[in-house]
Amino acid sequence: MIQYPPESTQPGDPVSRLDSAYTPDSAAGLSSIPFEATGSVRAGGAPVAVLRLDLTDFRSYETARLEVDARPVVLTGPNGAGKTNLLEAVSFLAPGRGLRRARLGEIDRRPALMGGEATPEIARPWAVAARLATPNGLVAIGTGRDGTSATGDRRLVRIDGQAVKGQAALAGYLNLVWLTPQMDRLFQEGAAPRRRFLDRLVFGYDPAHATRLAGYEQALRERAKLLRAGGADPQWLSVLEETLAREGVAVAAARREVADRLDRAASRPAGGFPSPRLSLDGGIDAWLETMPALAVEDRLRAEYGANRRLDAEIGGASVGPHRTDLKVHHAAKGAAAVDCSTGEQKALLISIVLAHARLQAGAKGAAPVLLLDEVAAHLDRTRRRALFDEIVALGSQAWLTGTDPELFAELGGRADFLTVAEGAALHAVSHAR
Ligand SMILES: Nc1ncnc2c1ncn2[C@@H]1O[C@H](COP(=O)(O)OP(=O)(O)O)[C@@H](O)[C@H]1O
Ligand SMILES: [Mg+2]
């Protein structure tokens, strides 16, 4: 299942690290050949799935290759074996900072953490290379830390061997959603993680959302910097505010549409899961309720212009989609998610993710890839079975982790079972079926 080292990886050479999944095959145009649907995939639907994953100096993995098919993947093994590390590697196939939101340098393999020698060493930048099945054929994605960048905290992305600028383009290939134990606090924390959760869902409906969001955030940072420095050219501020108003309304409108769709789709959840109600809370969201988008854009531009002095003081901007919050209610209880038990909150999140997967499978014929870290252990048998059945029915390549393989027994032959074993430097992953 996993081979060491992947033959095509040459440690030390950053380009080949990113491209170890990029073979002359794909150069010859394999990406235009439709991927053959396997038996586990819903009739008529082309699967979106990770077929191969190569890690180099990624956390506990020196080099590792994982080859799976489009079925759900179950990773089991003791605490600390490296299950979440594998999910994190997959999460870098989408835009953003991955499912741990780590600093990129933290991810470089540190042998000292694995009981290895603690000698000071120059960390080699990590890399992840993947081969994906998409409705348009096979795609090779390479990503990793750019060790040569000034901060060392820049991420490189290559798609089919071509370097791309930024990460937003990734949203057009792999539609990826995750639930992690950290997200048990999603409703307790500030609004930013909830916005990120929603934005990741929006990428599935509109991959350009990732580009707009990045453009908005970039303009917001530039404006804040100019305002902080003082004496900025008003003309230049106006140019930035123009971008903020245009992209900001597009971002808010896309979120609003997806939240509405999810709200409707989640009203009939899979067996045993609660029905969540979703809404957006924010100034711009309220305007969009009653005003046409163009009028909201004008109003937003005017507000940015009028608030320069205030925004210089607060070091940001007092209006805009960066202040939106996603509100979730437990319909049957009539209570806000924040007032529900941890278990109920988790179940609400699963309902949202499954509603999203259903919508995506219906609209695109391909369900998103789901990374469900330690989710199964917290569900009773009925809900666990409902979750598995739904995942299989949707043809989603869900990556499920847990310490106990028994939890996943009901998936049987419908999933690929892998054991992640503890080891000093290398972790063996093998079939345990
Ligand atoms: N940068 C790193 N270098 C080496 N090991 C790391 C690094 N970051 C985390 N680890 C180690 O990886 C191990 C596996 O972590 P994880 O994937 O979270 O395990 P689990 O199987 O419980 O999900 C942990 O023991 C952790 O110390
Ligand atoms: Mg873990």
Q: Could you say which ligand is closest to the alpha carbon of residue 427?
A: 1
Which residue has the least CA distance to atom 11 on ligand 1? Answer: 60
Evaluate whether residue 78 is within a structural domain. Answer: yes
For the chain, the straight-line distance linking the first and the last C-alpha, in angstroms and rounded, comes to 12
Residue 382 belongs to a domain with what CATH number? 3.40.50.300
**Edge-to-edge strand list for the sheet holding 429-431:** 176-179, 369-372, 398-402, 73-76, 416-420, 429-431
Do 241 and 334 lie in a common domain? Answer: yes
- How far apart CA 207 and CA 172 sit, in angstroms, is 5
Distance 80 CA to ligand 1 centre (A): 6
Which residue has the least CA distance to atom 13 on ligand 1? Answer: 80
User: CB of 20 within 8 A of CB of 9?
Assistant: yes
Tokens 């979730």 -> residue: 328
Counted domains in the chain = 2
| pLDDT tens digit sequence for 270-279 | 888 999 999 9
pLDDT at res. 12 = 41
Do 18 and 145 lie in a common domain? Answer: yes
Question: What's the sign of the alpha-carbon dihedral 305, 281, 178, 188?
Answer: positive
Residue 265 belongs to a domain with what CATH number? 1.20.1050.90
Do 43 and 97 lie in a common domain? Answer: yes
Two tokens, residue 383: 């809900």
Q: Which residues line ligand 1 (CB under 6 A)?
A: 59-60, 77, 79-85, 106-110, 113-114, 420
pTM value > 0.85 = yes
Evaluate whether residue 380 is within a structural domain. Answer: yes
Which residue type is seen at 414?
R
Two tokens, residue 262: 């999810």
Return the percent helix, strand and coil in the chain, to nearest 5: 45, 20, 35
Q: Could you say which ligand is closest to the alpha carbon of residue 182?
A: 2
Distance 99 CA to ligand 2 centre (A): 11
Evaluate whether residue 361 is within a structural domain. Answer: no
Do 219 and 316 lie in a common domain? Answer: yes
Supply φ then ψ for residue 111, to 5 degrees: -55, -30
Alpha carbon 218 to chain centroid, angstroms: 20
- How far apart CA 99 and CA 352 sit, in angstroms, is 18
Do 208 and 333 lie in a common domain? Answer: yes
pLDDT at res. 263 = 97
Cβ-based neighbour number of residue 429 at 10 Å: 24
Evaluate whether residue 301 is within a structural domain. Answer: yes
Choosing from 302, 332, 356, the residue where a domain stops is: 356
Distance 75 CA to ligand 2 centre (A): 10
Evaluate whether residue 330 is within a structural domain. Answer: yes
Evaluate whether residue 180 is within a structural domain. Answer: no
Do 218 and 148 lie in a common domain? Answer: no
Boundaries of domain holding 202: 186-356
- In terms of DSSP H, where are the helices of 365-415? 381-394
Low-confidence ranges of the chain (pLDDT < 50): 1-15, 21-44, 423-433
Do 352 and 302 lie in a common domain? Answer: yes
Do 154 and 40 lie in a common domain? Answer: yes
Evaluate whether residue 181 is within a structural domain. Answer: no
Do 102 and 194 lie in a common domain? Answer: no
Return the bridge partners of 236, or none.
none
Evaluate whether residue 154 is within a structural domain. Answer: yes
Kindly list the protein residues that place their beta carbon closer than 5 angstroms to ligand 2, a single-atom ion. Answer: 83-84
Ligand 1 test: best mutation among 63, 84, 85, 91, most atoms within 8 Å of CB?
85
Tokens 């990029």 -> residue: 22
Distance 12 CA to ligand 1 centre (A): 22
Choosing from 325, 356, 387, the residue where a domain stops is: 356
Which residue has the least CA distance to atom 16 on ligand 1? Answer: 82
Do 350 and 239 lie in a common domain? Answer: yes
3-class state of residue 294 by DSSP: helix
pLDDT at res. 269 = 87
Do 84 and 219 lie in a common domain? Answer: no
Distance 90 CA to ligand 2 centre (A): 14
Do 386 and 423 lie in a common domain? Answer: yes
Alpha carbon 410 to chain centroid, angstroms: 27
Distance 423 CA to ligand 2 centre (A): 15
Choosing from 322, 356, 390, the residue where a domain stops is: 356
Which residue has the least CA distance to atom 2 on ligand 1? Answer: 59
Using the CB atoms, write b or e for 148-184: b if 16+ within 10 Å.
Answer: eeeeeeebbbbbbbeeeeebbbbbbbbbbbbbbeebb
